[in-house]
Each structure stands twice: as structure tokens, then as C-alpha cells.
Chains A and B, each alone.
Chain A
Amino acid sequence: MDIKDIIKPENRVYGKTPLLTDNVMHYCPGCSHGTVHKLIAEVIDEMGIQEQTIGVSPVGCSVFAYNYLDIDWQQAAHGRAPALATATKRLHPEKYVFTYQGDGDLASIGTAEIMHACNRGENIVVIFINNAIYGMTGGQMAPTTLIGMKTATTPYGRDPKLHGNPLKITELIAQLDGTCFVTRQSVHNPGNVRKAKKAIRKAFENSMMDKGTSFVEIVGTCNSGWKLSPVQSNEWMVENMFPKYPLGDIKDI
């Protein structure tokens, strides 16, 4: 069979969702942010809620998320996305409101905001991209950086005596009575991408059921910060990140 006979509109089984704009993403080649953006876009498209969704972008590499998903957006001061999302959802309870935050944004400068928003049980979705590093500013240590992991500010590896311990903030969030769904996912292979998408969809659905906050951590890669190729980064993540940050649902009520 000729390739030309296969490449026909009626045979198309997968392609870019129209909810993603045609802008070329500024992310490094292979960065997990792009894959997660796509999943959120597909969920919004499939749920038919483009007009009812408001995202809050963070400070970090994903600050420009608003250039890529064709929905309404706000952009928060560093770490304050949950506070902005709280106000937005309370003023517009009919809207689907989500934050998109990195580990520096959510687990460092924004620790107070995420803890209290989740403890209050705001009916929002939190998408938390844990790449164990400050990607945007050049690869400094984050609260989630692994013991022994080399970063710009831990050139000899993270030493718990000097730099403290990796913060499993998702497990802490699961302890809070305000959260209804807390899960940890990844997007490094097709099976995990599909699972992560299901989790994101469930989180969006929860946000209209008055159940409280849904929190989806995605363990991701920052290959530039980690100084590995994109494919090596995925392998390194499986070997080193997953033992500390195991995948799966932590809470689902």
C-alpha cells in the first residue's frame, strides 16, 4: 500500500488538538512541560470546556503557558497561583480553574499558598510539575532535589546536613482534609502519558463536584538542568526519581 493512500484525512487517528495554539513552545527539546500542556489541552477539548476554563500560570519555565493553550489565563506572582485561583474560583464558581506550577514555585516560595489553598479545600485543580530543579533560572537546587543530586548550587551533590532533605510535598498535601484527590504521575512513555491524562481529567471533573482540591503531581524531566539528553533524562528519572517519588494515587475520595 502506498504511503499516500494511508495519509488521508479519513485515516487520521491522532494529531495536535486545536486547543493548542500554533505557537512553537519555547521549552528545551524533550522538556516534560510540553507533554503536560498537551494533556491539559486534550482534556479541556474532550470535556468541551474551552470557554469555561481559566488557568493560572506560575513563575518558572512554564510562565508562558498562556501562549500555548487557547483558554483564559492569569499569571501569578511567584508561588501565588493558588491564591489567585482561589479568588477566581470563588468569584466564578461556574468556571474550571487550575494552577500550573513547578517545584520551585509550589514547594519553595509558594509553600504557604499551596498548603492553605489545599487545606481550605478550594475547588480548584493543581498541576504540579516536579523536575527537582529550578529550570528557568539555570538549574539551582529545589526543595525536591534528590540527595546527592548535582545542581548549580549543589555542585558536589545535595547534602542533607547542609541543604536539608527532599520535600515530599505531595504526601503532605494528601494529609490535608481539604484535598479529595492527590496523585503522582509521569509522562515519559505512552502508557504513563495516558494514565496522567486520566488523572488530569478526573481532577477537572472533581472541581465541579464541591469535593475540595485535586492535586496532580507530574514527575518530569529538566534535561538542560540535569545535563543529560532528553532520552537519558527519562531513564535517569525512572531510576532515581521514582524510588523517592513513587507513582500512583495517594488519596482518592
Chain B
Amino acid sequence: MKQTTNLRINGTSYVHEVEPRLLLIHYLREVAGLTGPHIGCETSICGACTVAIDGKVVKSCAMFAVQADGSDILTIEGVAASGTLGAMQEAFWNEHGLQCGFCTPGMIMASRQLLERNPTPTEAEIRHGIDGNLCRCTGYQHIVNAVQAAAKAGA
């Protein structure tokens, strides 16, 4: 009944036998031990579980681990893997783009993608780009500032 999944996560390869019904977010957190991506809903609304799969950000509660078989995944833990913070992480820190931090890993992943697609976004474009990620603490304003700062820094 179990299926083999073969994933590359943050540059490391992971091979596991998993149940086909195992959600990718549960795989990442429980099997791979990467608890940076969080669970805020399990219904693909809040964005706390956002990771990048083959370069595209995805809500990892919205797919099964077996569906990701063979893909290359980047989680928040991989963003500063070299030990140096990424520009978006620095910007969130400098601009106070987080309070409780629960939405932050997903928010940073979504914000990175936003700048990859549009390096000089307007405020409205930034808001649109992070609209799939809920934050209950910040009112989003400092997150908008952070994305703008990262854009300026050429992230």
C-alpha cells in the first residue's frame, strides 16, 4: 500500500515509503523533520505551509507527498542554508515584517516568488502577490515594506 517517494529537499535527497494519502506538509514536517513550513488550516487557504516545488510556490497541504515524487523542494530552512540570510529574510527582519512569526516562513516563500516574477512591484502588486497568505498579526503593512525593501536591495 505504501509508495516510495524520492524527493530532493533543500539540496538533500530523501527516500521514504509513505502512505499515498500523506499530505506533503505532513511529510515535510513529520517524515523529513522540516518544521519551518507550518500548518494553519490544512485546507489550502492560509499559506502557512507554502514551499517552492521546482521553483514554483505551492501550498504544501494542497497536495500529497507522492504527487511531489521526483521534484526539487525548497522550504524556508533552505533559504539561508549557507548560513547567510537571504535578502527577503533580512528585509522582513529590518522592517518588522513579522510578529508571532507563524505565517512568516510561508510569507517569505511567497514574497520571494513575487519578486522573481516582478522585481519592481507596486504596493498593489505586492498585496496581490501575498494575498494567498494570511497574517493575523501585522496588518500586512510592514510585510509590504519588507518586500519593497527587498526589491530595492535587488533580491
Q: Do A and B bind each other?
A: no
Partner-A contacts on B (CB < 8 A): none
Partner-B contacts on A (CB < 8 A): none
